[in-house]
Amino acid sequence: MSWPKRSYNKYNAVRTEVDGLSFPSKLEGAVYCLLKLDQEIEKIERQQTVYLSSAKISFKVDFKLTYKDGIIKYAEAKGIVTDRFSILRKLWIFYGKHDLIIYKGSHLRPYIDEIITPESDSDEQDQADTK
């Protein structure tokens, strides 16, 4: 007797679909809905890879937000904070180029838990990266 194959997620995240787009968790889908309601956001891009430090440590952020005035911010939906994310969070403080908005909670009530603003200016950082 064989069991039917079932996808498994070690954090019990349930894949969901919103507006024809597939999201790895209900929380991420709910955050997407919240972001769509913000009239100041001109463009929402999903699963953007950002490289932190000169070692090119990759971080695939849930959303890249481009506002009407040209400001760029990133958003991340976090149901469970993993060890990897704790390290990436610290790296973002030193090597991130734009703000990172962390959403937590459930898919019924997501909330902004933290906004990480990088310590250095992106201009200073670009100069440091070229050295």
Q: pLDDT (tens digit, 9 = 90+) per residue, 53-110? A: 888 899 999 999 999 999 999 999 998 888 999 999 999 999 999 999 999 998 899 9
Name which of 42, 47, 34 is nearest 65 in CA terms. Answer: 42
- Mean pLDDT of the chain, nearest integer: 85
User: Which region among 45-49, 52-56, 77-81, 124-128 has the lowest average model confidence (pLDDT)?
Assistant: 124-128
Q: Is residue 21 part of a domain?
A: no
Q: Is residue 65 part of a domain?
A: yes
CATH number, domain with residue 105: 3.40.1350
Tally of domains in the chain: 1
Q: How many Cα atoms occupy the beta-carbon half-sphere of 61 within 13 Å? A: 27
Q: Which domain holds residue 47?
A: 27-130
What DSSP assignment string belongs to 4-16? PP----TT----E
Q: Is residue 111 part of a domain?
A: yes
Is 98 within 8 Å of 118 (Cβ atoms)? Answer: yes
Q: Is residue 124 part of a domain?
A: yes
Q: Is residue 5 part of a domain?
A: no
C-alpha distance across the termini of the chain, in Å: 62
